[in-house]
Structure 1
């Protein structure tokens, strides 16, 4: 599914490429931007009518991507203070990789970058007859945009740790699981549904990311995504106060 939202700056790549050791008990303290962000007090994201149809041509897919991001801007903009709509950059090739990370991706991807959305559009997305996996990836990238807009991304990057790999891993999971949860919130707002979300969560993940485990256990990822989807509220996405078992 989603590209692992490479935060909002290329510098975040160092933290994201940390290992995958099992999470331990590392509560987040001294960072109210994460644990008590104003995002969690917002009302439910309102439903929006979004008649976005993805064809199987480059032009129709580009139009579709712009439409969906526009719908998300409309929905979230109704409840967020000082909201600045997410811009969308669509290119055939992002030569410096996702958010200038230097990583080369062969297929399509979507990620948050510099408080906007970056999409590399290739034939895999263009030819896809169903948009289910694509829109899950796009809304997860939008979740990263919400994290950036509310100061969460910056606060996560600034988190201090004692140098233990397990602690770095756990806080990396918290960040990415929150984006999964916000993706669920957005999909609820768009009125999208699926009989089984589990296969969609990984359906569009570039193969280059298979070796990383930025989200933790699949069960936890599904838990946070469905929690956001059921509630439709960002307040259900506070992974920073969750026990370690829920972000392992």
Structure 2
């Protein structure tokens, strides 16, 4: 057995994907109840939060917006997660090693869940954006990483052991990041936001610099979207147990 080694960063189709019978998982997660039976999955749906965050097109207004959104998410998740500690938010023009020391520098804006905080690299793309939705989805997905840390999921994922197969490691990485997509959907629903094209917004939150890593980290766009919609549609963290899903659903 080998301990997993993977670089982390701070991110009709639905009916077909989740209704078609599939084979059992090729790489089931065993011996990790923090992943498969986490108490997070038993909590009620997140409450609806009146989050009157208004995003302007200046650095000051966007900074205020980001802080407000994280505050709203703290309120929503704080009502559901036991021993919850609110996320802090750090906003900078540039991170020397990129947000959360990923080692992959990006040219645009990026939000990343980093231990007990959300780190945001704020650049002109988010500042000038007239719609809040691309920014909101980016922050919600970063916040999902924070939730995974708060609930012990991140540590348990890091501790997973695998049999040396790259395909197995990739699949478990997909489970982690697609769970973040699902939890982001739960968050966005709690804040009462709607959109016509969540898939485009999810893709927009992934920096172009991550391009060659995306298949290994995130998996198929259709699966990412399906998990986001599952979280959004139910509003329940329990809908986001990717660790028990059959392999095709997290490919």
Query: TM-score, structure 2 length as denominator?
Result: 0.89
Q: Which runs of 5+ in 1 are unaligned?
A: 1-11, 18-23
Of residues 7, 19, 40, the one that matches 1:16 is 7
- Give the alignment's Cα RMSD to 1 decimal: 1.2
Spell out structure 1 runs of 4+ moving beyond 3 A: none
Q: 2:7–2:102: 8 Å Cα contact kept in structure 1?
A: no
Q: Equivalent residue for 1:32?
A: 33
Equivalenced residues, count: 230
Q: Equivalent residue for 2:199?
A: 198
Q: 1:47–1:189: 8 Å Cα contact kept in structure 2?
A: yes
Deviation at residue 204 of structure 1 after TM alignment: 2.7
Q: In the aligned structure 1, how far is the partner of 2:89 from the partner of 2:99? A: 13
Q: Equivalent residue for 2:221?
A: 218
Q: Equivalent residue for 1:58?
A: 59
Q: Equivalent residue for 1:186?
A: 187
Deviation at residue 96 of structure 1 after TM alignment: 1.3
Q: Equivalent residue for 1:122?
A: 123
Q: In the aligned structure 2, how far is the partner of 1:66 from the partner of 1:232? A: 22
Q: Equivalent residue for 2:240?
A: 237
Q: Equivalent residue for 2:21?
A: none
Q: Which runs of 5+ in 2 are unaligned?
A: 9-24
SS in 2 for 1:195: coil
Q: In the aligned structure 2, how far is the partner of 1:75 from the partner of 1:230? A: 16
Of residues 234, 244, 250, the one that matches 1:247 is 250
Q: 1:16–1:172: 8 Å Cα contact kept in structure 2?
A: no
Q: 2:45–2:237: 8 Å Cα contact kept in structure 1?
A: yes
Q: 1:177–1:239: 8 Å Cα contact kept in structure 2?
A: yes
Q: Equivalent residue for 1:78?
A: 79
